[in-house]
Amino acid sequence: MSLNVQYEGSRRTHLRHEMSANIRRCAYEQLAAGGAESLSMNAIAKKLGVSGPALYRYYASREELLAELVTESWEELAARMEETAAGASRLSAAERFRAEAQAYRRWALDSPHRYRLLNGSRFGTGALDPERIVPAAHRTMIVVLGALVEVSSPRGLRPPLTPELSAQLLAWATSRRPDSSVPPEVLLRGLLAQTRIHGVVSLEIEGYFDQLGIDADLLFDHEVDALLA
């Protein structure tokens, strides 16, 4: 293989990556403007000045493009959470947890269209790739558990954990990481961190608390403190 062919190959790969990224950027803009309903392959092709068939060489279907957006969003959120944890490594575990919770919330508030996509999509159905989504969701959970496991002298759970749920939590942790030694109470706190924060954030991005005249900041802080209490 001549150097010229190698160069051509790497240039093509580069252009291909650039085009894929442009397609996804266009798609996110459409989602931001009108939700998942407004995502249109034709409109993307038109915007980028390429033909329909050219576009379908990158993403074989609208479904496939949507799946890629969901997966990429999970991965970006995971990376954001890891950066936040690293940046807060000198803080106390409780402060680190607060910073992580706010980073998660900020990601959702900055791109509500992507947050809706991320949580409105089912693992293992359609074109979604669990081989990428599950690890990304897992990375986010690892970050959260890292802070929660360190929270000094956590008070006992109220109500106490039942043996049945405890066994399921341990089986979940072991399936993800066979050497896991995270206690079931911390695993439950991690799972509740996810459901409770999602409960507030998913209603906040729809303007629900504005409607009630409640400052979402205050409600969110209360929930985060309750998880640490």
Q: Which residues of the shown chain bind a copy of itself in the complex (CB under 8 A)? A: 36-37, 116, 119-125, 130, 134, 158-159, 161-162, 164-165, 168-169, 171-172, 175, 188, 191-192, 194-200, 202-203, 206-208, 211-215, 218-219, 222-223, 225-226, 229
Closest contact distance (angstroms) between CB of 218 and a copy of itself is: 4
Helices (H), the chain: 3-34, 41-48, 52-56, 62-87, 93-110, 112-119, 130-150, 163-176, 184-204, 208-212, 216-228
For a copy of itself, give the closer residue by CB, 54 or 212.
212
Amino acid making up residue 27: A
**Residue placing its CB nearer to a copy of itself in the complex, 8 or 225:** 225
Structure tokens at 124: 């293992």
Task: Please choose, from the candidates 107, 21, 118, 14, the residue with its C-alpha nearest in 3D space to the C-alpha of residue 67.
Answer: 118
Q: Least separation, in Å, of the C-beta of 114 and a copy of itself? A: 14
Tokens 């266009």 found at = 26
Q: Closest approach of Cβ 220 to a copy of itself, in Å?
A: 10
Nearer to a copy of itself, 87 or 207 (CB): 207
User: Distance between CA atoms of 76 and 81, rounded to whole angstroms?
Assistant: 9
Nearer to a copy of itself, 79 or 157 (CB): 157
Q: State the nearest-atom distance from the C-beta of 123 to a copy of itself, in Å.
A: 5
Which residue lies nearer to a copy of itself by CB, 64 or 215? 215
CA distance 144 to 81: 8
User: Closest by alpha carbon to 149, among 188, 105, 177, 176?
Assistant: 188
Query: Rounded to the nearest whole angstrom, what is the least distance from the CB of residue 162 to a copy of itself in the complex?
Result: 7
